[in-house]
Structure formats: C-alpha cells, structure tokens
C-alpha cells in the first residue's frame, strides 16, 4: 500500500516535468440552485517554451433521475446535451495564463468540462473532467410501471465537483470518496447553505495554504463533492435526517450538516457513511469540517481528553490499552515509545509531539502517526479501485 502511494506521488510530480504545461480548472460558484452565471476558469503555465493555447470544452445538458424504463436514481444522468467552449490564444506566455468560459445557468443544468493547454513546444496537458449541477434542482421523476407512467416527487444528489465525464447512475464511484453536504434546519434558506459551502470546500481542496489542508489539497481528485436537499437537523448534536435529505445522503461516504447556530460540533465515528455537523461562520470552519470528517468519513477517534476516544479506522488511532497502541504502532512502523495515555482516561494513542488534527485545534495541525496511516490507507484503497 505504502509503495503504491509513493509511486503515485512520484507519477503526479513527474507529470509536471520541464516543457509540459501545468493546467487546472475550476467553476465558480461551485454550486448554486438558482439561475446564475457560472464561470469556468482555467489556469495554465509552462515556463520554458510558454503557453500558446488553452481551450475549455463544456457539455451542458438537463439533469435527470435516469428514469424512463428504470426506477429513478439518486445519482443523476444528463439528457439533451449540447457542447460549447472557448479557445484562448497567447503569444507563448511563460507566466501563468487564465482563460474563462461563462455559462448562463438555467433550471436543472448539469455541466461537464475539461481543459487542454498547449505549449509553444507543442506539448499538451489536459485537466481531469469535472461535472457539476446548477439552477433549480430536479424535484420530480417519472416512473414507468409498465402499463402507466406516473410522476413522483424525487430529488437527486447535486454534483458540486463530480470527477467524471459521464454523469450517470451507472458511473462507478467506488474509487472516489463521495463527500456530501446538506443544509441544517437553521440555514435561513438554501442559498445561504450554498453560499456557506463555497468557502469551506474551496479552502479545503484548493485555496487554503495551511498545513491542515495539505492532505485534502493533495488528494482533491480522489474526492467527489455533492450537495443534498433539505431535511437534516444537527442542532446540539442531534443529527436527524428526514426526507429528502435522508434518501439522498445514502449515496454519500460521509455527510456534513452545515449550520450557523453556535453549538459544539460533533460527528458519528464511522468508517464511511457517517455524518457530522460543521458550523460555517467560524474563523476556522474548514479546519472544524476536516476534524469532523476525520470522525464520520475515516472512523478516527478524538485524541484529547473529553472527546470521543474510540475508533473505527484502519488502523485505529486510539486504544483502550497501552499494549494495543504498541501493537498497532509496531505494525505500522511507528515507535512504540510514542504510545502515550490521553490525559488520565486510560485510553492511548501514538503521539509524535506535533499538532494533530484529531487533537489540536490549530491550522498548523496535520494527520499524524496512526491517523495519517488510516487516512492514507483510504487513499491507497481508492487507487486500488475501492475506497471503502
């Protein structure tokens, strides 16, 4: 597993070798469930020969529940697709260039884009395809009962960052971590939820520069990000899910309930499929989101006195006995001398003395020791084709 991960890291860096453009793209806003202008912005750089051309190609269609002769799906499909795009030409620019494609979003849109950059030396690089939704969501689906078609209320998951060029219920997501977000009952409206989602997702996967987000920024292409409909309530750690949120979250590997009311955030300790809360108006909202996802998506326990000190991760990061900590540490190549009791709780962890995200509420924290092993094992499993 470790060798595979190291090889993949090498391959990622090798892709950026001399003469080959580096290219990335992102749409903005990430998700908005109403009419708006969505802008796909590509950036490219090749410092030796310079960038000569950047092209953005997009496929825009209508989101459907993949029904017809089948039952409706929570994962959406696309119909009536139309291609569009833009080509930006540069005088072999050696500094970073940007190219933008604005798209007018109308109800029930689903868009896929890819970006290609070409250097003056004729080398090309292509970004991975991203699919996202926008506009008023689908709220009903047609069901074919053989002798009659009926229309039923129906919601799909709403892709925010779906790493695919073929949006369909049959598209495999086994090699991706499906990170879901739903609004808490305390959000003033759905727009407030999507407005609050934007900076948290941006920071975690793209724009933050602190140590805590290094891991998610490195592995962003392993994550799909989804928005779900109303129905969740996390107030005071209750975490209740009613329809339609309860139905849609079934396809998520972890669900964050975004809320504004102040209460201490918490989460289930679940290796995939759990849920937790994240308060959006905190200064360190993205850090709190990552800490809680450590619980509900990766099964990690708290490493501080007063938290939830049990684990469902592989390996566990907290233990009920010193011997269990030593055994797991030894199996994972970590010094057993680092096994330390968490306060006077009788619970143990491997502590290398650095700030760790399951203990220390600081932007300089990172996944450390056994929690790092656990989250990196998930990434390795994703690359092997099955994250969970």
* Cβ-proximal residue to Zn ion, closest one: 302
Query: What DSSP element (H or E) covers 379?
Result: helix 369-383
Bridging pattern class, strands 254-259 and 177-183? parallel
Q: Positive or negative CA dihedral for 287, 293, 295, 299?
A: negative
**Nearest by Cα to 128 from 48, 219, 207:** 219
Cβ burial of 341 (10 Å; 0-12, 13-18, 19+) is middle
Q: Positive or negative CA dihedral for 226, 229, 230, 233?
A: negative
Nearest-angstrom CA–CA distance, 185 and 260: 10
Instruction: Name the one range near Zn ion by CB under 5 A: 48-56, 277-285, 303-311, 326-334.
Output: 303-311
Q: How far is the CB of 343 from Zn ion (least distance, A)?
A: 15
Write the interaction track for Zn ion spanning residues 322-361; mark x where CB under 5 A is met and - where it is not.
----------------------------------------
Q: How far is the CB of 302 from Zn ion (least distance, A)?
A: 4
Is residue 302 a contact residue for Zn ion (CB under 5 A)?
A: yes
Instruction: Name the one range near Zn ion by CB under 5 A: 9-17, 123-131, 185-193, 307-315.
Output: 307-315
Nearer to Zn ion, 302 or 360 (CB): 302
DSSP letter string, 146-199: SS-EEEEE----EEEEB--SS-STTS--TTSEEEEEEEBTTSSSHHHHHHHHHH
Nearer to Zn ion, 129 or 309 (CB): 309
Nearer to Zn ion, 50 or 307 (CB): 307
Instruction: Name the one range near Zn ion by CB under 5 A: 6-14, 97-105, 271-279, 296-304.
Output: 296-304
Mark 160-198 as b/e (b = at least 16 C-beta within 10 Å). Answer: bbbbbeebebeeebeebbbbbbbbbebbeebeebbbbbb
Nearest-angstrom CA–CA distance, 225 and 357: 21
Instruction: Name the one range near Zn ion by CB under 5 A: 104-112, 203-211, 276-284, 304-312.
Output: 304-312
Site for Zn ion in 158-187 (CB under 5 A): none
Q: How far is the CB of 350 from Zn ion (least distance, A)?
A: 17
Q: How far is the CB of 196 from Zn ion (least distance, A)?
A: 21
> What number of chain residues touch Zn ion (CB under 5 A)?
2
Q: How far is the CB of 359 from Zn ion (least distance, A)?
A: 9
Instruction: Name the one range near Zn ion by CB under 5 A: 54-62, 135-143, 248-256, 297-305.
Output: 297-305
C-beta separation of 386 from 362 below 8 A? no
Nearer to Zn ion, 90 or 304 (CB): 304
Q: How far is the CB of 316 from Zn ion (least distance, A)?
A: 15
Nearer to Zn ion, 57 or 362 (CB): 362
Residues that bind Zn ion in the complex, under the rule CB under 5 A: 302, 307
């Amino acid at each position: 597993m470790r060798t595979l991960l190291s090889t993949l890291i090498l391959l990622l860096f090798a892709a950026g070798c001399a003469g080959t453009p580096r290219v990335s793209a992102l749409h903005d806003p990430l998700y908005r469930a109403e009419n708006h202008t969505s802008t796909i912005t590509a950036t490219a750089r090749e410092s030796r020969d310079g960038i000569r051309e950047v092209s953005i190609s997009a496929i825009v269609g209508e989101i459907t529940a993949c029904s017809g002769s089948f039952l409706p799906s929570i994962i959406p499909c696309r119909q009536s697709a139309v291609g569009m795009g833009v080509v930006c030409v540069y005088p072999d620019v050696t500094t970073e260039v940007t190219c933008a494609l604005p798209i007018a979003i109308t109800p029930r849109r689903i868009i896929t884009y890819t970006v290609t950059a070409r250097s003056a030396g004729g080398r090309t690089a292509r970004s991975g395809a991203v699919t996202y939704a926008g506009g008023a969501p689908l709220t009903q689906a047609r069901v074919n009962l053989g002798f009659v078609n009926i229309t039923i209320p129906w919601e799909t998951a709403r892709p925010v960052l779906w790493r695919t060029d073929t949006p369909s219920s049959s598209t495999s997501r086994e090699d991706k971590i499906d990170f879901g977000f739903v609004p808490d009952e305390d959000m003033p409206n759905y727009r407030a939820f999507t407005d609050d989602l934007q900076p948290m997702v941006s920071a975690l996967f793209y724009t933050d520069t602190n140590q805590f987000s290094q891991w998610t920024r490195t592995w962003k292409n392993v994550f799909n990000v989804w928005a779900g409909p109303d129905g969740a309530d996390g107030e005071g750690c209750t975490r209740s899910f009613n329809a339609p949120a309860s139905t849609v979250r079934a396809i998520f590997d972890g669900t964050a309930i975004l809320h504004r009311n102040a209460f201490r955030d918490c989460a289930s300790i679940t290796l995939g499929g759990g849920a937790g809360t994240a308060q959006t108006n905190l200064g360190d909202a993205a850090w709190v989101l990552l800490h809680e996802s450590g619980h509900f998506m990766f099964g990690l326990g708290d490493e501080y006195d007063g938290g939830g000190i049990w684990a469902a991760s592989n390996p566990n990061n907290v233990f009920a006995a010193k011997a269990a900590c030593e055994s797991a540490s030894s199996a994972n190549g970590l010094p057993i001398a680092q096994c330390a009791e968490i306060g006077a709780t009788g619970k143990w962890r491997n502590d290398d003395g650095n700030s760790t995200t399951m203990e220390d509420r600081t932007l300089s924290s990172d996944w450390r020791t056994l929690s790092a092993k656990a989250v990196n094992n998930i990434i390795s499993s994703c690359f092997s084709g099955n994250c969970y």
